[in-house]
Amino acid sequence: MRVGDDVGGEAVAVGGRHRLAEDGDAQAAGGEAGDAAGVAALYEEDAVLAYPPGELTVGREAIRALWEKVPANSPRFAPEPPLPTLVSGDIALTSTPPRDGAGARAQVVRRQPDGSWLRVLDQPEFVRPAS
C-alpha cells in the first residue's frame, strides 16, 4: 500500500492540502482573533488537548475556557503547511511541522454525521525529552 492508495473509496493518505487542513487554519485565525468559542467548536465534546505543556485539558468547555485565557498572553498564530493526512474510515490523523522547528503537531479527528471533522485528540507540541 502506498500514499494515495484507495481503500473502500477513502484515500489512505492524502498529499498536499486536505480539507482537514482548513481546521488548522481556522484554529490559527480563531486564536489570533481571540475567538475561544470558535476554536473550541473544532473539538468533540469529550476531546483531549495536551496543553498547556505537561497537562491535559479535557472537554470542549475546558478547551474553550483555556482559549479564553490564551489571547491575554498575546501569542501570534500563523497557519502551518500540513503534512499528508492519514484517513481510515471516519478517523484521520493530521499533522504539521511547526514553523519554529519544535518537534511536531498532531491531531486525531473523527468524521461527524454531517461530514465535518472534529478533533478528538490534539497534541500541539511534541518535545523531545532531555537526554
CA 131 to chain centre: 28
* pLDDT category of residue 120 using cuts at 50, 70 and 90: very high
Say if CB 93 and CB 18 are below 8 A apart: no
* Closest by CA position to 14, among listed 67, 106, 82: 82
Over residues 48-70, mean pLDDT: 92
* pLDDT category of residue 128 using cuts at 50, 70 and 90: low
| Claim: this prediction has a pTM higher than 0.85 | no
pLDDT at 30 > cutoff 60: no
The most distant pair of C-alpha atoms in the chain lies apart, rounded to whole Å, by: 47
Q: What is the pLDDT of residue 66?
A: 92
Question: pLDDT: is 96 or 25 the higher one?
Answer: 96
pLDDT at 6 > cutoff 80: no
The answer to whether the Cα torsion of 115, 97, 24, 44 is positive or negative is positive
Q: What is the pLDDT of residue 58?
A: 98
pLDDT at 54 > cutoff 90: no
Among the listed ranges 11-15, 49-53, 65-69, 123-127, which one has the minimum average pLDDT value? 11-15
Q: What is the pLDDT of residues 68-95, one digit of tens each?
A: 887 655 555 566 788 889 999 999 999 8
